[in-house]
A and B are shown apart, each in its own frame.
Chain A
Amino acid sequence: METSTGVGADLPIRSDTDLMWVRQHVRQAAAQLGFGLVAQTKLVTAASELARNTLVHGGGGRMESAPLGQGRARGLRLSFHDEGPGIPDPERALTDGYTSGGGLGMGLGGARRLVHEFSIDSAPGRGTTVTVVSWAAAPPRPREES
């Protein structure tokens, strides 16, 4: 995978080996962007939850990652996409403990707590895209003084 050492990438999520590549990519990208150890660990963990959902619930898909820059702040945007059954009620799916399978139901809600920005685009039959953003330090303010 040529892109696995850069920050921008488009990785398949089709097997549990792919989950490991996703985790490794996010770890390296976050480190490269200057994320501290705890921030890296949070983002990698969130990515692992979302990638596993893509694999298990979405029937497989991909993750795109892209670096973000806003002033001096550096961030990483990760997008998890599948063309599976979709999530009929995303608010409910985000509730801690809600699972349609045998999981703990902590993945989606937990991932949302581990990142700075979180959005779900999903509808029954259309598949699911979950996009998250985290910043290396505090998230940038709309207006910054210098």
Chain B
Amino acid sequence: MNDGPYPHSAGQVPVLRLGDVLLVTVQGDLYDSTAQRLQDDIGAGVAAGGVTGVVIDISGVEVVDSFLARVLAEIAAGSALLAARTVVSGMRPAVAITLVELGLTLPGLETALDTEAALALLSRGTGGTFREPR
């Protein structure tokens, strides 16, 4: 048996509301169930109304596999249906390189270097989408 909880895991990811933006900071490795719950929580937050943007900070995430990538893409798609934009911020370079090789380009997801840039992007209008790193 493993003793003690997994060292860098989060059982629940808090969803903060800053004006008309939902701000989520994902830290460490996630249970699949935690990622799914986060999707539900963000969906409920956007559905509650008055939300125009969702920022998901993944600077503390070391691995994005196809499961988590799909959850992020579904969050963006679900939010878009309710007229909210989703920006993923702080993706580590190693994660970005790996996602490209994995073949996942996260269609529909906008990205920003950090949370501040993500918030600026949301207040401006249009921004970049996930691009192959050079």
Contacts and interface: CB of A to CB of B under 8 A. Distances in A.
Contacts of B64: 45
- A interface, over-half SS: helix
Contacts of A74: none
A19 interface: yes
B103 A110 contact: yes
B9 A107 contact: no
Q: Chain B contact residues (Cβ within 8 angstroms of A): what range?
A: 20 to 34
A17 B93 CA distance: 26
B94 A107 contact: no
A60 interface: no
A63 to B, nearest CB: 15
A80 B103 CA distance: 21
A19 B69 CA distance: 16
B2 interface: yes
A114 B101 CA distance: 7
Interface of B: 1-2, 6-9, 29, 31-33, 62-67, 69-70, 92-95, 97-98, 101-104
